[in-house]
């Protein structure tokens, strides 16, 4: 029954995370978000192409996917499957990780999804809220100074395990956040290349500036 609890949790969490919110919102407006802008289905590309309301909606829903997987799915599994010997922290971590993997590699779009920043933030809000606040503060500062969402996200991802350590969370959570941070940085490899080349788009930039 304990193994069944983990299996059920990760399957539900993956399917929850795999809901391609940005793709669905864009499709509702007659647009394939994968064919415009950066080609990403995440909130940043939706924000750029469809505007603030659509971008904010996608950001919130994608974040809720990660939070729900950790805070709600795992609790329901523990309550209804009666898995007495399951470690709650491990179950919540497993559910959150698979929600992020579902977003990044959604089965509905041939396993090509977003970068997982919002979904990861939702997961972290349930697991390490104080470390998340520190990382979000770093994200905000970098974004305000540079107007690069990608650079802000990369910086926040790099800082995350250190923030988790400073806040006194368990070694397990430090290791998990380190792996999450590494995954998010890896998912930004194309952005890193554009940042080096000076061709990455800034939020609020004029079209000519964005092409520099």
Residue 47, both tokens: 């924000």
Alpha-helical runs (H) found in the chain: 2-17, 21-28, 43-50, 52-68, 74-81, 88-104, 117-127, 129-146, 149-166, 171-187, 189-197, 207-210
Cα separation, 61 vs 155, in Å, equals 23
State CA 134 to chain mean position distance. 16
pLDDT digits (tens, 9 = 90+) for 133-157: 999 999 999 999 999 989 999 999 9
Same domain? For 181 and 210 the reply is yes
Same domain, 102 and 196: no
Picking from 76, 108, 127, the residue at the C-terminal end of a domain is 127
Number of structural domains found in the chain: 2
Q: Which domain holds residue 67?
A: 1-127
121/136 same-domain check: no
Token pair 């491990």 in the structure block, residue: 90
Q: Do 27 and 121 fall within a single domain?
A: yes
The residue from 64, 97, 127 where one domain ends is 127
> Could you read off the pLDDT tens digit of each residue along the chain, which spans 212 residues?
578 888 999 999 999 999 999 999 999 999 999 999 889 999 989 998 999 999 999 999 999 999 999 999 888 887 777 666 778 889 999 999 999 999 999 999 999 999 888 999 999 999 999 999 999 999 999 999 999 989 999 999 999 999 999 999 999 999 999 998 998 899 899 999 999 999 888 876 654 444 34
Distance linking the first and last C-alpha atoms of the chain: 57
The H or E element containing residue 206 is none
């Amino acid at each position: 029954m304990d193994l069944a609890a983990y299996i059920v949790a990760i399957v539900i969490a993956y399917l929850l995370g795999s809901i391609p919110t940005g793709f669905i919102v864009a499709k509702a407006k007659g647009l394939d978000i994968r064919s415009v802008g950066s080609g990403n289905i995440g909130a940043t590309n939706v924000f750029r192409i469809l505007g603030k309301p659509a971008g904010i909606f996608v950001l919130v829903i994608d974040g809720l996917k990660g939070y729900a997987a950790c805070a709600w799915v795992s609790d329901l599994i523990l309550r209804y499957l009666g898995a007495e010997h399951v470690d709650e922290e491990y179950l919540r971590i497993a559910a959150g990780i698979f929600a992020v993997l579902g977003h990044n590699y959604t089965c509905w779009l041939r396993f090509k999804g977003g970068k997982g920043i919002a979904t990861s933030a939702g997961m972290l809000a349930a697991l390490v809220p104080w470390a998340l606040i520190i990382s979000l503060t770093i994200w905000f500062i970098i974004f305000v100074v540079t107007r690069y969402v990608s650079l802000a996200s990369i910086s926040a991802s790099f800082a995350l395990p250190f923030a988790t350590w400073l806040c006194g969370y368990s070694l397990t959570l430090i290791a998990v956040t380190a792996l999450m941070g590494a995954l998010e940085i890896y998912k930004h490899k194309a952005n890193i290349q554009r940042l080096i080349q000076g061709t990455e788009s800034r939020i609020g930039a004029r079209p000519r500036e964005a092409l520099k």
